[in-house]
Amino acid sequence: MGRPITAKVEETKRRDGTTYYWTRPMVNGERTTIALGDERDGDTRHAVDAKVRDLLEDIRLGRWEPDLPEAKSGPWAVEREPGFADLGESFLKFKRSQQLRENTIKNLEWAIRGHLTPYFKRKRPSKIRQAHVIAFSDHEIAQRGRIAALRERGKYLLGSNDGAMRELSDRSINNILAVLTELLTWAAQRGWGDPADNPASGWRLKVKPRLTAALERDELFDLILAAGTPRPRQRQAAAMAARVDLIIRLRDDDRLPWKAVAELAGVAEPTAIYHYKQRKDLARFKGDRARAAADKAFVAALAYTGARVTELCDLDVGDVDLRHAKFRIADSKTEAGVREVDLTPHLVEVVADYFASRGSLKRTAPAFPDGNGKWRNRNQANKQTIAPAARLANEWRAERGEDPLPHVTPHTLRHTYITLAFEANFPLPYVMEQVGHDDSRTTTDIYAKVSRRRNRAVQGAAFDRMLDEGRAERPLALAA
């Protein structure tokens, strides 16, 4: 193992009293002078120390490059190649000029600012090779392990938006690699790379194909009912939930005094009492009833209309026409998505009851708000509504000895609507218009699955009859 790379911050004092900071670490076997900052520009020793830590990490990972030369001036000047951070910001500015949907821009910002830029930093796009791309994907996989280990200890890492970082699936890492591919192609078109040899285009993690299953009717009913069941605003971490289970057991089963319960659980006595009462309140369904009512109406609207989750998240009260039984989708993923969605009589009743429970409503208020009364977003709807409802529904189904639900996402409910609509003999053009499909192949693929599902009992019975006939032709076994 080689010696660790170190660097000492050097200071040069000027006559005016200001300080210039620099260092000379070993880079690829050579002593290299690197500027760190200037007190005239507002740099402080504390800020410079942080720069040195980042610099040493970049050198260790082999991603540091010397400062790029300035562009020549004059009519023959060529735009100098930017570092990755500047390239990413220029790319985001270009994408915004295309007037893409807000969620698309947010996803690009998440990929670039939250993952690509922190890793590649000042790396020039023309110098990125497939080995760097593979190292980046390995880094994200290792980061996933670190986040999981910290979560088990009740800790977390801060992301670029100062929020807790989450573990990325292989599919999410591939989405980031797709953004990197597009970004490097865009850079190559401006002369910073080879357009015919994109280093990120040929590298993706292997992802198992995800089965898109539609819910059966009993599964859908359980999910909607679970969404409308009050639950605590925040799900406890696994370690805290286990500690609360211990407190309940020590108090109820062993009948220990509070002082002994607190000592055995490793918490203060008031803390033990608080968590005990909170869990008991939950057992008596003293959860967040207002949010549960909103979640039930939201999940029912997803399943009974086939609307995209972002379309319902952005829906205002004024977009809901209960008198004429329709939603007006004014902003959608496609041109075909801008439409009016018909509501069934049952859904009209559900939404009307929910609106009545909210009292007087402004037309500009969110139709299905989150627990804070704000507009939902796609990730929030999945994590804070669909996923908790699926967990609760599975608990009920386990108690009844029934199979758990398949993996449920908002798109599962869209798939479920299309499936049930075809089973109810809705015509293909109407279903396409209802869900906002501009390509009939997407809808007809689901229709083909429904046809197989509709005939499965008949086909299964025919298969059994064929085998029964063959079994009857065989001679009976001789008695021993």
Whether residues 296 and 417 fall in one domain: yes
Q: How confident is the model at residue 364 (pLDDT cuts 50, 70, 90)?
A: very high
- Asked if residue 331 and residue 263 are part of one domain, the reply reads no
In a domain, 57, yes or no: yes
Contact 247, 275 (CB under 8 A): yes
Answer yes or no: do 328 and 270 share one domain. Answer: no
**Is there a domain that residue 224 lies in?**
no
Whether 469 is in a domain gets the answer no
Token readout for 225 is 């009912």
Angle ∠(307,313,319) on CA atoms, nearest 5: 75
Most confident of 190-194, 356-360, 446-450: 356-360
Instruction: Give residue 124's pLDDT band: very low, low, confident or very high (50, 70, 90).
Output: confident
Higher pLDDT, 280 or 147: 147
Spatial distance between the Cα atoms of 321 and 328, rounded to a whole number of angstroms: 8
Instruction: Mean pLDDT check: name the lowest of 36-40, 233-237, 401-405, 444-448.
Output: 233-237
pLDDT at 73 over 50: no
Q: What is the pLDDT of residues 34-44, one digit of tens each?
A: 888 778 777 88
Helix 170-188 to helix 102-111 angle (10° resolution) is 90
Judge if 293 and 442 occupy the same domain.
yes
Total-model pTM: 0.56
Is the domain of 400 the same as that of 421?
A: yes
Query: Is 172 or 449 the better-scoring residue by pLDDT?
Result: 172
Top pLDDT among 363 and 332 is at 363
Q: Are residues 325 and 414 in the same domain?
A: yes
| 429 and 373 fall within a common domain | yes
Predicted local confidence at residue 76, as pLDDT: 33
Q: What is the pLDDT of residue 91?
A: 93
Shared domain for 276 and 294, answered yes or no, is: no
* Mean pLDDT (the chain, rounded): 82
In a domain, 207, yes or no: no
Residue 198 lies in a domain: no
Give the mean pLDDT of 325-333. 79
Least confident span in 13-17, 19-23, 281-285, 382-386: 281-285
Task: Indicate the pLDDT class of residue 236, thresholds 50, 70 and 90.
Answer: low
Q: Are residues 262 and 172 in the same domain?
A: no
**Cα separation, 138 vs 130, whole angstroms:** 12
Average pLDDT over residues 198-206: 89
pLDDT score for 277: 82
More confident residue, 33 or 308: 308
How far, in Å, CA of 328 to CA of 323, rounded?
13
Of the ranges 207-211, 217-221, 282-286, 470-474, the best mean pLDDT one = 217-221
Q: Check residue 67 and give its pLDDT.
A: 60
CATH code, domain with 378: 1.10.443.10
- pLDDT for 333 equals 57
Please name the amino acid found at residue 2.
Answer: G
Which of 390, 378, 414 has its CA nearest to residue 214?
A: 414
Mean pLDDT, range 391-406, rounded to an integer? 92
pLDDT at 72: 42
Q: Of 252, 267, 283, which residue is a domain's last?
A: 283
Any idea which of 180-189, 261-270, 280-289 has the lowest mean pLDDT? Answer: 280-289
Residue 77: pLDDT band (50, 70, 90) is very low
> Does residue 464 lie within any of the structural domains?
no
Same domain as 179, residue 46: no
Q: 69 in a domain, yes or no?
A: no
Boundaries of domain holding 367: 289-456
Per the structure, how many domains does the chain have?
A: 4
Assigned domain for 4 exists: no
Res 477 pLDDT > 60: no
Same domain for 250 and 147: no
Looking at 167, 188, 209, the residue that finishes a domain is 188
Q: Can you give the CATH number for the domain in which 160 is found?
A: 1.10.150
Please report which confidence band the pLDDT of residue 188 belongs to, taking 50, 70 and 90 as the band edges.
Answer: confident
Q: What is residue 346's predicted lDDT score, i.e. its pLDDT?
A: 94
Out of 6-10, 67-71, 263-267, 448-452, the most confident range is 263-267
Tokens of 297: 């109406």
Same domain, 178 and 256: no
Average pLDDT on 180-196 reads: 87
